[in-house]
A and B are shown apart, each in its own frame.
Chain A
Amino acid sequence: MSNTANKNKILLKINIEKRFDNFSLNCSVEIPNGVTSIIGPSGSGKTTLLNCISGISTPDKGDISLNSNILFSSLEGKNTSLNKRKIGYVFQTPTLFPHMNVLQNIRYGYDMTSTSRKRIDLDELIEIFQLSKLIKRSTKNLSGGELQRVGIARSLATSPDLLLMDEPIVSLDVKLKKVILDYLKITWTKLQIPVLYVTHFISDAINISDKCLVISRGKTIAFGKTEAILSDKNILDLFE
């Protein structure tokens, strides 16, 4: 498949409803390959959406499919277990296993991935994320930026079909943010792993993503090319 065709291929189809006591998420969108940001004010449902895609939460109704594989369908009664969805997830707060060193963390998912699925070479991944000097270190002694680099590398080591990232740089300083965002770009450009990146910073979305999904109060407001969407005054007003 040519690069353009690959980029436009529909990766993820979402049509779900998830209800809570005071809030309801209704999302219907088709997301293509590439890096897509999900942007919206705090409490708009961005994390809930990621949790439904990953399998951490179960929607009340609807369906989710990834590369034409149905992950969830209320009509068919299907709900693929989260360990079988082949999706990587980088949480806002690093979730490295404290009783394992850096290499053991990265290998945890890698060792469980079948040989036929492994598309990413572990040594290459460690080199790309500049982790060679850290591999024997305990995760307790890593800085914030190092923790997130290891977290991203660990998720990528499973050769996921999609990488979800929930505001992974929100607690980092400006310099480190740029470093992590650069690694994020490599994830798609070099490793060809599509990314769904949640943020409430417009600048991050513009910096890294081709496409942007805007959510507010649980509703899909807009979806399209990032620059076009985020230059719309009505959309920008949501963030004031």
Chain B
Amino acid sequence: MNDIFFLSLKIALTATIINLPISILISWVLTKTKIPGRSILDLIVLIPLAIPPVLVGFFLLIIFGKNGPLGFFINNIFGTNIIFTWFAAVLASSIVSIPLMIRPIIISMSEIDENLEKSARILGASSLKSFFNITLPLSYKGITAGTLLGFIRAFSEFGATIIVAGNIPGKTQTVPLAIYTNIITGNNEEVFKMVVICLLLSITSIFIYSKLLSVTKK
């Protein structure tokens, strides 16, 4: 069980680390810029929430499969295929969890008084410096909350993962997939242990998340 748990942690952490800078950038574009097409970007970001996770897996299979546009390219350059590997699980987890990471960051960034950022610019800061000195520190609660929510969603991912990474013991079998397998095989003791771990992790994360956002609203 330890191996399964650590594989799940590795996949969820990698997905979260990949998503974090992308989420911060997208949130900044949506809240602090007037770039045309922002509303379309906002919709695109929400799509993984609106469609069943198995569809996400299906589309990843098409794109990264041996004959898919990116799969063909990766196979030719690196001589390998990412389908049915732990990295495919990372991609699946990353896509389904990114909308949940972005929302709290958007809320936090929207709440920053824009005169603070203007003040920083007038005092001599470039846009980038103002972002790192003012916007980012003042959004830390949303960033932390989004990271937690994104991580727990990535950890819990099932539908997309089973399609694009498979359920290969020791290679791509995450905790949710292992629960599924053990339910089918009637191994209730293992199921119970994993369910308890998942519940503890989820409840703790949600509790911290709600604390962060309730303080933000004050």
Residues of chain A having any CB pair with chain B under 8 Å: 54-56, 82-85, 87-89, 91, 93, 95, 97-99, 108-109, 112-113, 154-155, 158
CB neighbours (8 Å) of B120 from chain A are 97, 108
The residue on A at minimum CB distance from B123 is A109
* 16 extra A-B contacts, CB within 8 A, seeds A54-B122, A83-B125, A87-B122: A55-B122, A82-B121, A83-B126, A89-B118, A95-B113, A95-B118, A97-B119, A97-B120, A97-B134, A99-B138, A108-B120, A109-B124, A112-B124, A113-B124, A154-B123, A158-B124
Q: How far is the CB of A64 from chain B (nearest CB, A)?
A: 15
Known contacts A97-B120, A112-B125; is-contact A91 B115 (Cβ 8 Å): yes
Query: Which listed residue, A55, A91, A98, A158, touches B123 by the CB 8 Å rule?
Result: A158
CB <8 Å contact, A93 and B122 = no
CB <8 Å contact, B119 and A83 = no
In this complex, the interface size class of chain B, counting residues with CB under 8 Å from chain A, is 10 to 19
Query: Which listed residue, A84, A95, A112, A154, touches B115 by the CB 8 Å rule?
Result: A95
CB neighbours (8 Å) of A112 from chain B are 123-125, 129
CB neighbours (8 Å) of B69 from chain A are none
CB neighbours (8 Å) of A158 from chain B are 123-124
Query: Complex: how many Å from CA A85 to CA B126?
Result: 12
CB neighbours (8 Å) of A84 from chain B are 124
Query: Complex: how many Å from CA A85 to CA B118?
Result: 13
Query: Complex: how many Å from CA A99 to CA B117?
Result: 13
CB <8 Å contact, B119 and A95 = yes
Known contacts A95-B113, A95-B119; is-contact A83 B138 (Cβ 8 Å): no
Query: Complex: how many Å from CA A98 to CA B119?
Result: 13
Which 3 A-B pairs have CB atoms at the shortest separation, nearest pair first? A109-B123, A112-B124, A95-B119
CB <8 Å contact, A88 and B116 = no
Q: How far is the CB of A88 from chain B (nearest CB, A)?
A: 7
CB <8 Å contact, B122 and A99 = no
Residues of chain B having any CB pair with chain A under 8 Å: 113, 115-116, 118-126, 129, 133-134, 137-138
Query: Complex: how many Å from CA A113 to CA B123?
Result: 9
Query: Complex: how many Å from CA A95 to CA B115?
Result: 6
Query: Complex: how many Å from CA A185 to CA B76?
Result: 73
Query: Complex: how many Å from CA A91 to CA B121?
Result: 13
Q: How far is the CB of A98 from chain B (nearest CB, A)?
A: 7
Query: Which listed residue, A83, A97, A98, touches B122 by the CB 8 Å rule?
Result: A83
CB neighbours (8 Å) of B115 from chain A are 91, 93, 95
Query: Complex: how many Å from CA A88 to CA B124?
Result: 10
Query: Complex: how many Å from CA A82 to CA B120?
Result: 10
CB neighbours (8 Å) of A109 from chain B are 123-124
Interface centre among B122, B133, B138 (most CB of A within 10 A): B122
CB neighbours (8 Å) of A55 from chain B are 122
CB neighbours (8 Å) of B125 from chain A are 83, 108, 112
CB neighbours (8 Å) of B116 from chain A are 95, 97-98
Q: How far is the CB of A4 from chain B (nearest CB, A)?
A: 31
CB neighbours (8 Å) of B119 from chain A are 89, 91, 95, 97
Known contacts A91-B115, A95-B115; is-contact A83 B134 (Cβ 8 Å): no
Query: Complex: how many Å from CA A109 to CA B130?
Result: 11
CB <8 Å contact, A83 and B137 = no
Query: Complex: how many Å from CA A93 to CA B134?
Result: 17
In the assembled complex, 29 residue pairs joining A and B whose CB atoms fall closer than 8 Å, in A order, are A55-B122, A82-B121, A83-B122, A83-B125, A83-B126, A84-B124, A85-B122, A88-B122, A89-B118, A89-B119, A91-B115, A93-B115, A95-B115, A95-B116, A95-B118, A95-B119, A97-B116, A97-B119, A97-B133, A98-B116, A99-B138, A108-B133, A109-B124, A112-B123, A112-B125, A112-B129, A154-B123, A158-B123, A158-B124
The residue on A at minimum CB distance from B125 is A83
CB <8 Å contact, B122 and A89 = yes
Query: Complex: how many Å from CA A91 to CA B119?
Result: 9
Query: Complex: how many Å from CA A97 to CA B126?
Result: 16
CB neighbours (8 Å) of A97 from chain B are 116, 119-120, 133-134
Q: How far is the CB of A150 from chain B (nearest CB, A)?
A: 12
CB neighbours (8 Å) of A82 from chain B are 118, 121-122
Known contacts A97-B134, A98-B138, A99-B138; is-contact A83 B113 (Cβ 8 Å): no
